[in-house]
Amino acid sequence: MKTRHRTAGFSLIEVMCAILILGIGLVGLTQGITTALSSSKESELQTTAALIAAGRIETLRAEGYLMDGESEGECGAGLSLYRWKQSVTSTTIDGLHEVEVVVQNSKSGQAIYELRTLLFDPPIFSTLDESSSRRDSARSKRKERRQR
């Protein structure tokens, strides 16, 4: 009588190879997820910084006048990670100012976003019924602001 050896199941080497392949696949998957999450967080930081910078420029427009100089500040309780610095400088064209807003990480001081634009001083409109003394007063106020 012949005895036959039946080989059923997996050998130890086959099991070890399968575990190795699965382990490499899981490491790749976790690396991919980690990269996606960090990219998402970086995108959120950039978007928030861009909105803060645009908001600072819109605030300057809404104030109705521009004064040359530098200023800085915090972004508030909900945005404690950010701080901003802005500089307004005159150009060679009368009434035109270059505005630069830099949003930084408040902990590291590293610049996250920088926005530059040119803004005009809003013109002083006069109506026909307005007296010349009012116009002169408005002009002198504007000159005062520029000299500060």
Q: What is the pLDDT along the chain (148 residues), one digit of tens a residue?
A: 566 666 677 788 999 999 999 999 999 999 999 999 988 988 998 999 999 999 999 998 888 788 899 999 998 888 888 999 999 999 999 889 999 999 999 889 899 999 999 998 876 665 554 545 555 665 566 666 556 5
Gap between the Cα atoms of 59 and 1, Å rounded: 98
Q: Give the model's pLDDT for residue 122.
A: 72
Helix (H, G, I), strand (E, B) or coil at 146: helix
